[in-house]
Amino acid sequence: MNLTLYVWRQKDAEDKGSLEKYDARDINHHMSFLEMLDVVNEGLIQEGVDPIAFDHDCREGICGMCSLMINGRAHGPEKATTVCQLHMRHFKDGDTIYIEPWRAKAFPVTKDLIVDRSAFDRVMQAGGFVSVNTGGAPDANALPIPKANADVAFDAAACIGCGACVASCKNASAMLFVSAKVSQFALLPQGHAERKQRVEKMIAQMDEEGFGNCTNYYECEAACPKEISVRFIAKMNREYLMATIAK
Amino acid sequence: MTTSQASVSFTTASVGKKVLMAITGICLIGFLIVHLIGNLQLFIGQEQLNKYAETLQSLGGLKWGFRLFMLVLAVIHVWKGVVLWLENRRARPIGYHREDTVQASLSSRTMIYTGLLIFAFVVYHLLHFTLIVTNPEYAQLKDSVGRVDVYSMVITGFSNYAIAIAYLIAMFLLAYHLSHASESFFQTMGWANDKYLPKLKILSNLFAIVIFIGYASMPIAVLLNIVKLPGGGN
């Protein structure tokens, strides 16, 4: 199959950047979207053109590195799929595809399609942890946790921190990411002790990074490759209100 | 950038602002319900509506306290709404060339526009029926017992096609705003989950429809001559 690509090219963080047109020729239906870009890049290298820079790592859909806005959708048109797991069979011969980086003030573009997502790391540093004394590993099952709680905590912990929620949100809000992280700790006994400070600090850091506010569009939920539910945003709101009232 | 140690105050934090929007919003919704029940007395007749209006006017200090409370609620709701909107625009200084929408409803994406238009309508509505500035001739209307004739004022007002249509459009915008607003309230307050959220969405839409039908029934009834001026004229 042959495709026409419009790809965002930007030399570095200071460059203004622009959409450039490329032809992707003889693409195999079985290729992943990233493999298709690899083929395009091979051609660019042979022509002596700087290849398209994009983030990727595991290519198994679990690391959260790949981050492309494809035809206006974070991670492309398929539900619950990262770009690396998106296959070219979902496109048709002759399609035109727009490929853009995540767009948010808190996620500055560093080169082409790569954005700096350290803002998420700083949100995690603010409270996304459980403080424990070092020592021997505790016995498994020493701390009983109801199955239902463990399941919900795991649903939240499935977040891979890719940032698709921010990219797809019309407000560039990070509420789905932060709420998943707040919830996974709040739902487990290990996270209980610090739950009040955690939610306050993580939200304060989220605001400081310049993410937008949540207006309940739920567009994040639709874009999330791990199908994190917006119920966790409600959970975080509740955690935050409880922490505020407790003060 | 380092991680912040100091916690931000509630009213400026993102979630705090949302909660302020939700609480002021639900109070305004409460007013809409009370106001609708009061106004629907139009269908009972002149005596009932004018008596009700006179009772409200006779409350004195309580009336002014209530008006002040509603004003404060409305100002907070509009002000925080505009602040949130501006912040959200700043959060994405460079937009997408191609942008798709999967499940964000049109009503959720137009809250700021429907909201500001409703605010403009409320200003007109107050000037029209409450302060009687735009149509000063209403002030002359008195019923047979000498009370302010709210009944005739409403019918005279809605007999004007332009005014009636403006009210109908405003009520549609209000209902559209509410269809996202009432559901949003529960999500923001943290009282929604996977089980309730789909039901809340349906209830929110139903509530918006009820509010629209309720308020729109009055100008429509006047236009269709279902409620008439005392003495049969219109």
**Interchain contact A108–B (C-beta under 8 A):** no
* Dihedrals phi, psi of A91, to nearest 5 degrees: -115, 165
**Cβ contact (<8 Å) for A233 and B7?**
no
Q: End-to-end alpha-carbon separation of chain B, Å?
A: 69
For chain B, positions 90-109, list CB contacts with chain A under 8 A.
90-105, 108-109
DSSP string, A104-144: BTTB-EEETTEE--HHHHHHHHHH-S-----SSPPPTTSS-
For chain B, positions 2-61, list CB contacts with chain A under 8 A.
2-4, 6-8, 10, 13-19
Residue ranges of domains in chain A, CATH in brackets = 3-110 (3.10.20.30), 118-246 (1.10.1060.10)
**Cβ contact (<8 Å) for B98 and A237?**
no
Q: How far apart are CA A105 and CA B72, in angstroms?
A: 33
CA angle (A49, A53, A56) in 5-degree steps? 145
Cα distance from B85 to chain A (closest Cα, Å)? 8
Residue B180, amino acid: H
User: Which of B36, B38, B45, B41 lies closest to B228, judged by CA?
Assistant: B45
**Is it the case that residue A160 has pLDDT exceeding 70?**
yes
Q: End-to-end alpha-carbon separation of chain A, Å?
A: 61
Task: Work out the percent of chain B whose per-residue pLDDT is above 90.
Answer: 89
**Is it the case that residue B123 has pLDDT exceeding 80?**
yes
What is the per-residue pLDDT across A29-50, written as a single tens digit (0 to 9) for each? 999 999 999 999 999 999 999 9
Helix (H) or strand (E) holding A100: strand A96-100
What is the per-residue pLDDT across A193-229, written as a single tens digit (0 to 9) for each? 999 999 999 999 999 999 999 999 999 999 999 999 9
Q: Where are the beta strands (DSSP E) in chain A?
A: 3-9, 18-24, 69-70, 73-74, 96-100, 109-111, 114-115
Helix (H) or strand (E) holding A186: helix A175-186
Tokens read off for A137: 């590993």
The size of chain B, in residues, is 234
Q: How far apart are CA A52 and CA A111, in angstroms?
A: 9
User: Which of A12, A19, A213 lies closest to A108, judged by CA?
Assistant: A12
For chain A, positions 149-168, list CB contacts with chain B under 8 A.
168
Q: What ipTM does this complex have? A: 0.92
* Dihedrals phi, psi of A225, to nearest 5 degrees: -70, -20
What is the average pLDDT across B57-65? 94
Q: How far apart are CA B18 and CA A25, in angstroms?
A: 49
For chain A, positions 14-53, list CB contacts with chain B under 8 A.
19
**Cβ contact (<8 Å) for B189 and A213?**
no
**Interchain contact B86–A (C-beta under 8 A):** no
**Is it the case that residue A177 has pLDDT exceeding 90?**
yes
